[in-house]
Amino acid sequence: MEQGFFLSFYQMVHTYRLDQLLELLGGDGSTVGSYDGVIHGIASLEKARAGDLSFLGNPKYRPLVKGSQASVILVPEDYMEGPADGQLLIHTKNPSFALALICRDIESKLLARPATGIHSSAVIEDGAEVSPEASVGAFCFIGAGAKVGSAVLQSHVSVGRSAMIGDGSYLFPHCWVGDYCEIGRRNRLLGGCLIGSDGYGYEFMEGAHQRVPQVGNVVLEDDVDVGANTTIDRARFGSTRIGAGSKLDNQVQIAHNVNVGKHCLIVAQVGISGSTVLEDGVVVGGQAGIAGHLRVGAGAMIAGGTAVVSDVDSGSKVRGYPAMPMMLFNRIAVLQRKLPDLFKRFDQLEKNVKSPIPEPNRPNQ
């Protein structure tokens, strides 16, 4: 019963005519083939059925296009094979991004912006300013002196004293924004993230670890995404800063006084230690760790699981523990696979060297 209800709702929200799909793509798309029905679902090439939309985003799935039962498939411009009977191919520059444009419209229906206004259970302290265009959900807290623009705060969101939330930002349930922190415009903060938790600072004095107060803040510039349960620590002084357009995945830890540049990508479970600087366009793979007081140059790429313990040059690609140039890491990995055979050969050579040399055969005198 629940599944049937879900499917009917899914189909209701996801029903699109061909002209609607092309409109969402903004003119990026030429068609080959024909399909006169509506699209009521999205599926992978392998699992798609009649009435579904699918896409070819990764070249390794190219062989699956020919056998796919999807009614409409987004394909790259260099895809030359024709469609099956009753199937339509839409050629686009980037099929994955084209699908994202369609999903944006779907998301706007599934996650429609809540009505403006402040829920009766929310607590707004004296001196806080909340835009009449904001939506403040159940059990939210907004501290004294805080300023909230035309943003959405879902349930159980906490905004500290004198904090700022920019227009168009969307804070999911259980987000926590600390005192004096600044959230720019069009930020997207997923559930459980903490912006402005205390930085980790101690000095060992008089036989004990003495806490160093963290009196700075966190600044998120415009168009920043922060994943679920990610923590960004307030600065010891000054600001921990995340640059415009940067995207942080779930469970990322950003320490105090870190400066992340514009349009960086930081994948899940990355840890960045205090006062490190990531310049613009840096990409950090999952579970990588970056030590403190380092500089990672613009456009550098750090592979997942890498331990960065020294500065990284702009445009570099590094991997390993500790980090080393990607090509060197790959060469070492190849050699490591050969080590068992090399040890066997070396062992045999050593045995041959240590074996007594047989006396030569001499003819009888």
Radius of gyration of the chain from its Cα atoms, rounded to whole angstroms: 29
Annotated catalytic residue 174: no
Query: Catalytic: which of 209, 256, 263, 293?
Result: 256
Q: What is the token pair recorded at 166? A: 């920019």
Helical segments of the chain, H only: 2-13, 18-24, 62-65, 95-110, 326-354
State how far the Cα of 304 lies from the Cα of 323, in Å rounded to an integer: 11
Strands of the 307-308 sheet, one edge to the other: 123-124, 141-142, 158-159, 176-177, 194-197, 231-233, 253-254, 271-272, 289-290, 307-308
SS3 for 66-93, per residue? Answer: CCCCCCEEEEECCCCCCCCCCCEEEEEC
Residue 90 burial (C-beta neighbours within 10 Å; 0-12, 13-18, 19+)? buried
Q: Which helix (H) or strand (E) holds 148?
A: strand 147-148
Q: Which helix (H) or strand (E) holds 135?
A: strand 135-136
Torsion of CA 96, 283, 299, 246, to 10 degrees: 80
Q: How many CA atoms lie within 13 A of 188 on its CB side?
A: 9
The vertex-69 CA angle with 66 and 70, nearest 5°, equals 100
Of the candidates 282, 281, 325, 289, the one whose C-alpha atom is nearest the C-alpha of residue 305 is 289
**Beta strands 135-136; 30-33: pairing state:** unpaired
**CB atoms closer than 10 angstroms to residue 15:** 13
**Beta strands 239-242; 52-55: pairing state:** unpaired
Q: What is the token pair recorded at 95? A: 């099929």
b/e sequence 279-296, b meaning 16+ C-beta within 10 Å: bbbbbbbbebbbbeebbb
Which residues are catalytically annotated?
Answer: 256
